[in-house]
Structure 1
Amino acid sequence: MSAPIPNRVHYHKRDRELELGYPDGESYRLPIELLRVYSPSAEVQGHHPSEAVLQTGKRNVGLLNITQTGRYALKLHFDDGHDTGLYTWEYLHDMATHQQAWWENYLTRLERAGASRDSGVIQIHQV
């Protein structure tokens, strides 16, 4: 079964969230940071899972523009210059309905790498 197609897409600039509304009345708000760090682009995901690049310092990233690509995806234009990922309806719906798991995975990866959601932050580890 394919994912539902949103009938409403709204960017909440102040909250840095993308809202997806569906014909059945469901609505989800996805943080732009989450969308950016899980961009489906080769630049972020690589060509194999082992090539994925952990995105850091994206807490305050926003959107400049949103364009629809055919009948299957959105292209998000981030204010950090990234705009190469195509977010299919399936990808967006999975991210929206499993948002907590995506966040937890991201935060765990950041912690393991000693990295931060904030840009320009140096992590100091004491032993």
Structure 2
Amino acid sequence: MLTAPLKIDYQRANQTLHLLWPDGVEHRLSAEFLRVHSPSAEVRGHGVGQQVLQVGKKEVAIAGIEPTGRYAIKIVFDDGHDSGLYDWTYLRHLGDQQALLWQQYLDRLADQNASRESLFINFKQL
């Protein structure tokens, strides 16, 4: 098991989680990226090939971060999603593979003619 990050800081202004690892590597992961790559069964499914494509998450934000023992954090998103534990190994994987994982996500959206945009309309803006 990977050791904990030295720093975990959510920057609300740009909806980015900043992680600083003991080896000096830094990652900045958007709330959207973390949400669409949630380790929960709701997103990952219950087996290989059962992932559920997350759509409309472009504006999602992190509402809270809760430590879980010494091995993980639970991220609570403002869309109500709060299942799935992000252990240090998984967070490091997300950070190290961010560019590849993000492109794969965008490709899956395109293949399914889906969008990152929310389906809800904010009538106050109309």
Scaled by the length of structure 2, the TM-score of the pair is 0.91
Note the residue ranges of structure 2 that are not aligned, 5 or more in a row.
121-126
How far off its partner does 1:71 sit? 1.0
Query: How far apart, CA to CA, are the structure 2 residues paired with 1:96 and 1:39?
Result: 13
Q: What is aligned with 2:42?
A: 43
Q: What is aligned with 1:91?
A: 90
How far off its partner does 1:27 sit? 1.3
How far off its partner does 1:75 sit? 0.2
Note the residue ranges of structure 1 that are not aligned, 5 or more in a row.
122-127
Aligned pairs, how many? 120
User: For structure 1, which segment, 36-45 or 25-34, has the greater mean C-alpha deviation from structure 2 after superposition?
Assistant: 25-34
Q: What is aligned with 2:59?
A: 60
Runs in 1 of length 4+ with deviation above 4 angstroms? none
Report SS of the residue matched to 1:75: strand
Residue 102, structure 1, aligned to residue 101, structure 2: yes
Query: How far apart, CA to CA, are the structure 1 residues paired with 2:23 and 2:40?
Result: 29
Query: How far apart, CA to CA, are the structure 2 residues paired with 1:83 and 1:103?
Result: 21
User: Within 5 Å, which residues of 2 pair with 1:1-127?
Assistant: 2-120=1-119
Q: Deviations over 1:69-92 (max 9, x none)?
A: 111111000000000010010000
On the 8 A contact 1:4/1:93 being kept in 2, the answer is: no
Query: How far apart, CA to CA, are the structure 2 residues paired with 1:41 and 1:69?
Result: 15
- In the alignment, residue 100 of structure 1 is paired with which amino acid? A
How far off its partner does 1:30 sit? 0.4
User: For structure 1, which segment, 107-116 or 25-34, has the greater mean C-alpha deviation from structure 2 after superposition?
Assistant: 25-34
Query: How far apart, CA to CA, are the structure 1 residues paired with 2:96 and 2:21?
Result: 12
Q: What is aligned with 2:124?
A: none
Query: How far apart, CA to CA, are the structure 2 residues paired with 1:44 and 1:24?
Result: 30
Query: How far apart, CA to CA, are the structure 1 residues paired with 2:66 and 2:6?
Result: 14
Q: Deviations over 1:50-108 (max 9, x none)?
A: 22110000001001100111111110000000000100100000110110001011000
Report SS of the residue matched to 1:67: strand
